[in-house]
Amino acid sequence: MNKIDTEELNIMYEDNHILVVVKPQNVPSCPDDSGDDDLLSALKRYLVEKYNKPGDAFLGLVHRLDRPTGGVMVFAKTSKAAARLSESIRSGQLEKKYLAVTCGAMRDKKGVLKNALYKDENTNSVYCVPIATEGAKLAVLEYKTLDVKKEIALVEIKLITGRSHQARVQLATAGTPIFGDAKYAKGKSPSGYNLALWAVELRFPHPTNKETMVFRVYPPVEDVPWKFFDVAGKLSIIR
User: Is the Cβ–Cβ distance between 139 and 114 less than 8 Å?
Assistant: yes
User: What pLDDT is recorded for position 239?
Assistant: 59
Q: What is the DSSP track for 176-223?
A: -PBTT-TTTSTTSS-SSS---EEEEEEEEE-TTT-PEEEEE----TTS
For 115, phi then psi, to 5°, come to -145, 155
Exposed/middle/buried for 157, CB within 10 Å: 0-12, 13-18, 19+? buried
User: What pLDDT is recorded for position 53?
Assistant: 87
User: What pLDDT is recorded for position 54?
Assistant: 86
What's the CA gap between 15 and 89, in Å, rounded? 20
Summarize pLDDT for 130-152 with one digit per residue, the tens. Answer: 999 999 999 999 999 999 999 99
What are the angstrom distances between the C-alpha of 157 and each of 119, 142, 195?
21, 6, 15
User: Is the Cβ–Cβ distance between 21 and 11 less than 8 Å?
Assistant: yes
The closest alpha carbon to 224, from 193, 203, 189, 181, belongs to 193
Q: Which amino acid is at 235?
A: L
Q: Which residues on neighbouring strands pair with residue 97, listed in sequence order?
A: 158, 201
| pLDDT higher at 238 or 20 | 20
User: Is the Cβ–Cβ distance between 176 and 193 less than 8 Å?
Assistant: no
pLDDT at 1 over 90: no
Summarize pLDDT for 146-201 with one digit per residue, the tens. Answer: 999 999 999 999 999 999 999 999 999 999 999 999 999 988 999 999 999 999 99
Summarize pLDDT for 60-119 with one digit per residue, the tens. Answer: 999 999 999 999 999 999 999 999 999 999 999 999 999 999 999 999 999 999 999 999
Give residues with Cβ within 8 angstroms of 91, minimum separation 6.
Answer: none
What's the CA gap between 49 and 45, in Å, rounded? 6
User: What pLDDT is recorded for position 181?
Assistant: 97
Q: Is-catalytic flag, 56?
A: no
Pairing relationship of beta strands 197-205 and 70-76 according to DSSP bridges: parallel
Of these residues, 66, 108, 181, 223, which one is catalytic? 66
Summarize pLDDT for 5-33 with one digit per residue, the tens. Answer: 999 999 999 999 999 999 999 999 999 98
pTM: 0.95
Summarize pLDDT for 27-77 with one digit per residue, the tens. Answer: 999 999 888 999 999 999 999 999 998 889 999 999 999 999 999 999 999
User: What pLDDT is recorded for position 2?
Assistant: 82
**How much is the mean pLDDT over the chain?**
95
